Amino acid sequence: MRTLTGIQPSGKLHWGNYFGAMKSMFDLQEKGENFMFIANFHAMTTVRDGATLRAATRDVALDYLACGLDPEKTVMYRQSDVPEVQELAWYLSCLTPMGLLERCHSYKDKMAHGFDATHGLFAYPVLMAADILIMNADLVPVGKDQKQHLEVTRDLAQKFNNAYGEIFKLPDAYIPETVATIPGTDGQKMSKSYHNTIELFEDAKSIKKKVMGIVTDSTPMESPKVPEGNSIYELYKLFATKEEVEAMAAAYRAGGYGYGHAKKALLEAYHRLFDPFRAKREELAKDPASLEDILQAGAKKARASAAPVMEKVREAVGL
Ligand code: ADP
Ligand code: TRP
């Protein structure tokens, strides 16, 4: 069983990304074969500055390594280090009906948010299909918003197989329904588009300010409170032990326990989990050559995996 995930380097990773995506990936790496790549070609649809893209690409690699990605167990590579994906994207493009891409929500959403209507943004699902098919992935863990792109991938694999013979496996999306939607500082879903995120590694002062600023109702300190649905409590559940969570719930219900107390507990629980990750990240960041070695080693494995697939594909299409 091979799992493949792509992460766009288009913003700083936040608590929602960690608990909604990264953590389940680290659990998966204990089973089966895992591939994770940093989708820097994809990020070019929205990032227009070379230095920014390079730094964001490095930051994603550092964040994943610091939080638990083991490069011995997960093949981590930069998308651009496997240029064959661009080649495969072209072959798939030649089979892609315009209407299929015109129906994609993510393109329409981005347009609605004022992004330029470029060909890259429009053709993005074809490149994504190439990322997946070139690595023969069985399972692709993604957020709900990417479900349609997986349908496009399966559709293109099928069209290719119909035209040229059985070359591609049809991958499945893996969308864990059990992953809760992590609330942001304003109570809505935490998302970089809503400017309500708490980043994994922003400086401690700024994290404190954001945690202390989480929006709550105005129930007075003395009054009993309902823990379920309260953002601080919901966030605390992610970081704390079962006993700690039960203790906080009881304190909410009893009254005499304010949201300020709960925020302090949340901040402590964040530091307990993330301070070791932060220390590891600082160590890794001091040694850019070793980071590059990890990425190059990943690229080598990824290209070795892509090579036989591309050989079959070139043969089949008549090159
Ligand atoms: P953003 O909404 O900040 O742009 P992305 O769409 O890039 O985040 O999400 C990357 C991954 O992180 C996806 O798998 C997504 O499901 C997960 N994720 C992001 N925000 C949350 C959240 N608030 N709750 C749960 N999962 C999230
Ligand atoms: N489109 C994905 C996102 O925005 C990133 C991505 C690109 C991806 N290629 C992929 C995810 C292949 C899984 C598999 O989150």
Would you state the pLDDT for residue 235? Answer: 96
Q: Where in the chain is the domain with CATH 3.40.50.620?
A: 2-181+288-317
Q: Which CATH number describes the domain made up of 201-282? A: 1.10.240.10
Give the three-state DSSP class for 113: coil
Comparing 112 with 260, the larger pLDDT belongs to 260
82 lines ligand 2 (CB under 6 A): no
For residues 106 and 145, what is the distance between their CA atoms, to the nearest angstrom? 8
| Angle, vertex CA 6, rays to CA 5 and CA 7, nearest 5 | 125
Q: Which CATH number describes the domain made up of 2-181+288-317? A: 3.40.50.620
Would you state the pLDDT for residue 116? Answer: 84
pTM of the entire predicted model: 0.94
Q: Is the pLDDT of residue 257 over 90?
A: yes
Comparing 179 with 137, the larger pLDDT belongs to 137
- Fill in the DSSP letter of residue 146: G
Q: Is the pLDDT of residue 16 over 90?
A: yes
Instruction: Kindly report, residue by residue over 130-170, the tens digit of the pLDDT.
Output: 999 999 999 998 888 899 999 999 999 999 999 999 999 99
Selecting among 12, 159, 189, 264, the annotated active-site residue is: 189
Q: Where in the chain is the domain with CATH 1.10.240.10?
A: 201-282
Would you state the pLDDT for residue 70? Answer: 96
Q: Is the pLDDT of residue 59 over 90?
A: yes
Distance 49 CA to ligand 2 centre (A): 20
Strand-pair partners of 309: none
Residue of 187, 235, 238, 297 whose CA lies nearest to 24? 238
For residues 181 and 179, what is the distance between their CA atoms, to the nearest angstrom? 7
Comparing 209 with 112, the larger pLDDT belongs to 209
- 264 is annotated as an active-site residue: no
Residue closest by Cα to atom 6 of ligand 2? 6
Would you state the pLDDT for residue 186? Answer: 95
Selecting among 23, 159, 169, 192, the annotated active-site residue is: 192
Would you state the pLDDT for residue 178? Answer: 67
